[in-house]
Amino acid sequence: MGVQYKDYYETLGVNREASEKEIKDTYRKLARKYHPDVNPGDKKSEEKFKEINEAYEVLGDSEKKTKYDQLGANWQAGADFRPPPGWEGVRVKMGDFGGFGGSGGLGDFSDFFSSLFGQGGGFSQRTAGRGWKARGNDIDAELKITLEEAFNGGARSVTLQKKETCPSCGGKGVVGKKICAACNGMGVKVKPRRLDIKIPAGIKDGTKMRLAGQGEEGIGGGPSGDLYLHIKLEPHPHFTVLGYDVQIELPLMPWEAVLGAEVEVLTLKGYAKMKITPGTQSGQRLRLRGQGLSGKGGKRGDQFVKIKILVPKEISEKETHIYEELAKFYGEKANHEAFGRIRR
C-alpha cells in the first residue's frame, strides 16, 4: 500500500529552484515561529514544527535533497506514492541541523520519509525544546544623517523597538498554570532600547553598518542577531553630492564678477576664503581641492563652486543712470564674439 506523498518544498514555502541559503533562512524563520518553547502546549504548532524539521532534514542536506529531487515526475504521485525502483532499503544517515539540535529531538518522521530514508529518532514534548538553540533575528533600520555628519563623523543616539524574552515567564508564555500577565502569553515583550551609534567620518549614502549582537535575542540561549543600519543622507539645503565631490552655488554681484573679488564660501568644514578672478562668468565652476567626501584610499573628493551672477531686481535712479552709461559704453562691443552671443 502506498503512503502519503510529502511535498517538502511546499511545507517550507519555497520553490524547487530555491538556493541553499533561501531554504536555510526560511527554515530558521519557521522554526522560531513554531518552536514548542515559543508555543507551549500548542499541539498545532508542535505538529507544524515536526513537519518543517522533516522537510529541512531532506532539503537542507545535499545528499537527501538530491535523492528526493531524483523522484522527478513521481513527486506528483499524490496520496498513493510508492518509492521508485532502486530505492528499496535506502538509508541515509541523519545529520545535524546546523546548530538547531540533533535529530533525536526532531524525529518521529512520516511514513513517506521512512520509506525513502529510514526512520530516525522520536519527537516528543519532553525533548522538543531541549538543546535547541537558535540565533536571534537580525534587525534592519534606516539611519538618516546630515552631510556634515557624513563628512566629519560623529555620534548619534537611536531608539529601536526590540523583541526581548519576557523576564517573567522566561519566554514560555505561562507562569505555573496561568498565562503570563506580563506578556499576555506571547513569551516576548517589545521594549524601546536606546543605542549610541558612532558614525565614521566619510561614510557614504547607502552604506550598511553592522552592529554585532544588537538584533533580537536568540531562542534557548542562542546568540542575538545583528543590527544593520542603512545610511541615508538627508537632502542638504546648499550642497549637492556628486559621487565623492560636492557642489555649492555661489551668488555674485555683477561688479564682483567683472572686477574680481575675495569672497567667503561655505564648505563642509566651515567658511573658506576664495579669490574670484576678473571676468568670471555665470555658470562657471571653480574648484576647492580636497574639500569633498572621503574616497578610495582615504583621498578626498573636491568641492565645486558654481557661479551665479545676480541681477538686482530693484535699482535706484542713480543706479539706473550708471547702468545706462554702461549700456552706451558697451553698446557696440555687445555684438562682439568676446561676449559669447550672436545678435542680429
Could you report the average pLDDT of every consecutive run of 10 residues in the chain (344 residues)?
A: 73 90 87 77 85 87 80 50 49 36 47 63 38 74 92 87 81 80 80 88 89 82 87 94 93 94 93 94 94 82 95 91 86 57 53
Which CATH number is associated with domain 8-128? Answer: 1.10.287.110
Q: Alpha helix locations (H) across the chain?
A: 8-12, 20-34, 43-59, 62-69, 111-117, 125-128, 147-152, 254-259, 317-329
Helix (H, G, I), strand (E, B) or coil at 258: helix
Domain segments of the chain as ranges: 8-128, 139-233, 239-311, 317-344
The cell for 316 is: 535706484
**Whether the Cβ atoms of residue 172 and residue 165 lie closer than 8 Å to each other:** no
Residue partners of 328: CB distance under 8 A and separation at least 6: none
CA atoms within 13 A on the CB side of 7: 13
Paired strand residues for 135: none
Residue 143 has a pLDDT of 92
The pTM of this model reads 0.54
Helix (H, G, I), strand (E, B) or coil at 28: helix
**Whether the Cβ atoms of residue 183 and residue 191 lie closer than 8 Å to each other:** no
Q: Give all strands (DSSP E) within 282-342, no chain letters.
A: 285-288, 303-309
> Among 82, 90, 87, 79, which residue's Cα sits nearest to residue 119?
90
Pick the CATH number of 139-233 from 3.30.360.10, 2.40.50.140, 3.40.50.300, 2.60.260.20: 2.60.260.20
> Among 60, 80, 73, 49, which residue's Cα sits nearest to residue 18?
60
What is the C-alpha separation between 42 and 255, in angstroms, rounded?
83
Which CATH number is associated with domain 239-311? Answer: 2.60.260.20
What is the C-alpha separation between 32 and 60, in angstroms, rounded?
16
Q: Same fold for the domain at 8-128 and the one at 139-233?
A: no
- Note the Cα 253 to chain centre separation in Å: 46
Residue 90 has a pLDDT of 40
Cβ count near 302 (within 10 Å): 18
Tallying the residues shown for the chain, one arrives at 344
Give the CA dihedral 124, 3, 58, 55, nearest 10 degrees.
-60
What is the C-alpha separation between 72 and 280, in angstroms, rounded?
75
